[in-house]
Amino acid sequence: MFKTIANAWKIPDIRQKILFTLLMLLVYRIGAFIPIPGVDIGFIQSQVGQYEVLGFLNLFSGGSLSNMTIFALGITPYINASIIMNLLTVAIPKLERMAKEEDGRKRIASITRYFGVILGLVQAIGIIMGLGPQAVENTQPFTYITIILCLTAGTALIMWIGERITEKGIGNGISLLIFISIVSGMPSMLMTMLEGVGNGSINIWMFVLVIGLAFLIVLGITFVDLGERRIPVQYAKRVVGRKMYGGQSTHIPMKVNQSGVMPLIFAITILMLPGMIGQFWPDSGFYAWYRLYAGPGTILYGIVYALLILFFSYFYSQIAFNPVDVSKNLQQNGGFIPGIRPGKPTSDYLAKILSRITLFGAVFLALVAAVPTFFTFMTGVASVFGATSVLIMVSVALETTKQLESQMMMRHYKGFLS
């Protein structure tokens, strides 16, 4: 990978894209240290450490929420808007037709941006009002308006940075922003564990076990993320004028993990709801039962988490890969799978294979998500390497490396696999 980066640096236009990407990421990290006026940072930090949902949002904002900076909401509103628009695209035929056209995709992207800003505004109001009057220095209306506008404007700026990286830089901008947010929190987590080892609260062998577990998770995610089932495709020969077209063989790559990190995000969102509702009534019996038997770190939490991942893996794989559309495209272009008739038999065959590889990918995601939970339950030591964060980091790193490889191959440069 380092050889890939070194070779890419020698190409002027790719070097310019890398520098632009790094500059945009630097702007993002600088914004993560610009505080919003009128807030009590000490009180907010105590609340973020106490509430699970705020801790999750703080992870995806790179610690900006606990410091209440202009980027405190992170890219979460835009991600939620994208998820909702993807679901609506599947459910509403008009949006599905728009998604298949170039102008339609631009309109959907524009609607997603506006929707993301609206969700950011709603989330800003919900967070600052939910934290109560102790979160602000004074309860004047102008103070609340200033805080809410700063948070919403920060969300819009993050969206702009992500889109500029995608357009003029290297990799997917939104994914890179999430990646850099998670990575920025890793040093402090490791330092906390090292301090625990130093003062004796954490056993040295437990620390080694956590590092080894993280290494195995990264290795497994890399193996599965790169895994794919290649379906052979043959194109029939046809004569157009005096030239013969077709006759070549190719394949349809079906990734083992079609849905990526989306099942984990959906599952976590649903699992956070009971705890988030219970936190409004902290003295209730339901919240006490939830924390003891169904909260993070319990066996029931890990089992439900794994089952939700299995469900959403199948759900989202149908969105990421549609066997019927692939079958129609093959038939229209004169392609067929050897031994399988075109049309419905082809779509049924692709759906059967998709179901099998999705099962393997879903079971793997469930295991990856459940291992840290069961580790915490058995040892009492919280693993700093959550399944969602590790999966995002590995996936984004692999995807960015692939983009560098593809751009270098177009310029006849050797990649690190050569």
- Which CATH number covers residue 208? 1.10.3370.10
Q: What is the mean pLDDT of residues 73-91?
A: 81
Q: Are residues 62 and 163 in the same domain?
A: yes
Same domain? 240 vs 143: no
Overall average pLDDT of the 259-287 stretch:
70
Q: Which tops the pLDDT comparison, 348 or 315?
A: 348
Q: Which of 391, 407, 410 is nearest to 5 (CA)?
A: 407
Distance CA(376)–CA(299), nearest Å, equals 10
Residue in the structure block whose two tokens are 């294979």: 353
> Model-level pTM?
0.74
Residue 265 has pLDDT above 80, yes or no: no
On whether both 277 and 342 belong to a single domain, the answer is yes
| Any domain includes 1 | yes
| pLDDT per residue as tens digits for the range 331-379 | 887 788 888 888 888 888 888 888 888 888 888 887 777 666 666 655 5
Is the separation of the CB atoms in 399 and 175 below 8 Å? yes
pLDDT value at 326 more than 80: yes
The top-scoring range by mean pLDDT among 94-98, 189-193, 196-200, 205-209 is 94-98
How many domains does the chain divide into? 2
Residues 181 and 209 in one domain: no
Q: pLDDT-derived band of residue 208, with 50, 70 and 90 as boundaries?
A: confident
In a domain, 92, yes or no: yes
The answer to the question of residue 197 being in a domain is no
> Which residues, in sequence order, are CB contacts of 2 under 8 Å at separation 6+?
416
Nearest of 312, 327, 391 to residue 358 by alpha carbon: 312
What are the pLDDT digits (tens) for 126-165? Answer: 888 877 788 888 888 888 899 999 999 999 999 999 889 9
- Provide CB contacts within 8 A for 25, sequence distance 6+: 165, 176, 177, 180
Tell me how far apart the alpha carbons of residues 377 and 135 are, in angstroms, rounded to a whole number. Answer: 33
Identify the domain containing residue 14 by its residue range: 1-185
Same domain, 133 and 271: no
How confident is the prediction for the chain on average, in pLDDT? 78
Instruction: Clarify whether residues 229 and 121 are in a common domain.
Output: no
Domain check: are 168 and 223 in the same one?
Answer: no
35 and 89, same domain (yes or no): yes
CA 4 to chain centre: 24
Which of 138, 154, 185 is the last residue in one of the domains? Answer: 185
Domain boundary among 185, 216, 239: 185
Same domain, 164 and 207: no
- Is 266 contained in some domain? yes
